[in-house]
Amino acid sequence: MIELSPLDVRKKKEDFRRAMRGYDPEQVDAFLELAAERLGALLAEERSLRERIGVLEEKLGRFEEREKALNDALLAAQELREEARSQAEREADLRIQEAEARAEQIVQEAREEERSAERRLEDLRIRRERFLRSFRDTLERFLEELEAEQARLRADPDREPPARSLREHRDPPAIRLEGSGAPPAGEGS
């Protein structure tokens, strides 16, 4: 394609030969002037459009860079969100494990406390049983002494019972529980 400027069109009218029966030179000159003006306007518009295309291409490049940066930021945010979710799940699992371990420890402590209470209760039952046996033995000895005294009185009704101190009548013999350190009734008296 030949580059054609308005000046080329204006100079071209001198290159045409004059011929008889040709076109009217004034009309041709007027047309060439009009064509030159239109060509000038079109070239100016083309220059303007090229400049505008350059500006738009530059803006498009910046927008593409921004779009890439936004896409990168979006991917980074998604990865960060996924990592945060994963971290939260790990922390939740860890807290659940800690809670389960603590619950198991509490259950173990409660079971140990229950076993200890059962041992103490069994110990108290054994001590109660020993006390009741010891108390029964003491009562049976008192009963035997009472029956012996009654039998003596029946055998010799005129005989005076031996005098005892007032304290002996008020204080019964001491009853010793096993493990208490006190002597059992009738021992060491």
- Taking residues 27-36, what's their average pLDDT? 81
pLDDT tens digit string along 56-89?
999 999 999 999 999 999 999 999 999 999 999 9
Q: Which of 173, 166, 167, 177 is nearest to 187 (CA)?
A: 173
Top-ranked range on mean pLDDT: pick from 33-47, 115-129, 152-166 = 115-129
What pLDDT score does 53 carry?
95
Torsions phi, psi for 99 (to 5 deg): -65, -40
Check residues 118 and 7 and name the one with the higher pLDDT: 118
What pLDDT score does 167 carry?
47
Specify the length of the chain in residues.
Answer: 189
Residue partners of 39: CB distance under 8 A and separation at least 6: 4, 5, 6, 9
- Taking residues 108-117, what's their average pLDDT? 95
Reported as a pLDDT band with limits 50, 70 and 90, residue 186 is very low
Residue 103 CA to residue 111 CA, distance in Å, equals 12
Cut 0.75: pTM above it: no
